[in-house]
């Protein structure tokens, strides 16, 4: 599993231009969609999801969070 495919651009249209670190929003400004993690004893935070999207056809190349240093809530 290398990075060649990743570097060659969009898997759909072959485009090279991507908008990176785009945040996934919601219509009603109620916060953001993300992954939950424990912050302290009871507090739960949300790490926002980011996407890299092809600016030509809109294909999502990558879906990820930026900060992985969390204690993720898995249940």
Q: Which residues make up the interface to Zn ion (CB under 5 A)?
A: 10, 12-13, 15, 54, 56-57, 59
Question: Is the Cβ of residue 10 or residue 47 nearer to Zn ion in the bound state?
Answer: 10
Of 13 and 44, the one with the shorter C-beta distance to Zn ion is: 13
Question: What is the C-alpha to C-alpha distance for residues 57 and 45, in angstroms, rounded to an integer?
Answer: 33
First to last CA, the chain: 30
Q: How far is the CB of 18 from Zn ion (least distance, A)?
A: 8
4 vs 29, beta carbon nearer Zn ion: 4
Among 15, 8, 21, CA closest to 56: 15
**Closest separation between CB of residue 64 and Zn ion, Å?**
18
Burial class (CB in 10 A: 0-12, 13-18, 19+), 54: buried
Q: Min. distance of Cβ 75 from Zn ion in angstroms?
A: 36
């Amino acid at each position: 599993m290398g990075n060649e495919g990743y570097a060659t651009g969009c898997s759909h249209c072959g485009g090279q231009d991507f908008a990176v670190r785009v945040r996934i929003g919601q219509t009603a400004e109620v916060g953001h969609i993300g992954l939950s993690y424990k912050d302290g004893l009871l507090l739960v935070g949300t790490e926002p999801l980011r996407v890299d999207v092809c600016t030509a056809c809109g294909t999502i190349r990558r879906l990820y969070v930026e900060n992985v240093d969390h204690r993720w809530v898995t249940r």
